[in-house]
Structure formats: C-alpha cells, structure tokens
Amino acid sequence: GENVEQHPSTLSVQEGDSAVIKCTYSDSASNYFPWYKQELGKRPQLIIDIRSNVGEKKDQRIAVTLNKTAKHFSLHITETQPEDSAVYFCAATKAGYSSASKIIFGSGTRLSIRP
C-alpha cells in the first residue's frame, strides 16, 4: 500500500549547522510533496512543498530536492536556529486526481538545535 518512510526519527545539530531529513515514497503516482513543521501542541504548518515536475525548490534557509526515479525526497535546512527545533513531517499525495488527495505522512523527525 501507500507508504512514506522518513529518516532519521531524531536529529540533533549544533546551531548554525545544516540539517537533512530524508524520505522515500512507495506510490509512483504521487505528484505533490509537502513538508510540515509541528511545534509541541500546535498544528502542522506547511513550510515548503514541491511538485513532481520540479527537481529542487528553495525558500531562504530551506530547500527540498526530489528524485522521482528513486522515489526519494529530502529537506535541507541551513544555518539552523533555535526556533527550527520541532517535529518535521514529510508527506506525499496524488493531487488533482478524481479520488481523494489524501496526504500520506512520514513518521516524523524530531529536530533539536543545540546552542
């Protein structure tokens, strides 16, 4: 069935260093890949997304890459700051089809930024 695997489950980096989170999806029909950040007790917030016709997208300190052939996508955060500490979820969906565009989430990565 549809599945998204996410690694690592926990990640601790020194403030100012980079953080990388990797995901793999199983459904080759997936065409839209959002990333959500969830702080403790709060809603998941969309931080960046990428469509299947794009290989890379960047927004300030955050970038996402997609390899459709390998069905891999990754989140890169540069110059990490304390406020980047949160749980990050990758996700995959088939947007625009007649069936429901349900989001399949990864299991999450708890990112901690050490001062």
Binding site for another protein (CB under 8 A): 32, 34, 36, 42-46, 49, 51, 89, 93, 95-96, 99-108
Taking the least distance from each CB to another protein, the nearer of 27 and 49 is: 49
Q: Which is nearer to another protein, 18 or 107 (CB)?
A: 107
Position 62: which residue type?
I
113 forms beta bridges with: 13
**At closest approach, how far in Å is the CB of 52 from another protein?**
10
Angle at 72 between CA 22 and CA 27, to 5 degrees: 120
Asked whether the CA dihedral 51, 19, 77, 45 is positive or negative, the reply is positive
Nearer CB in complex with another protein: 19/90: 90
In whole angstroms, what is the distance from residue 16 CA to residue 76 CA?
13
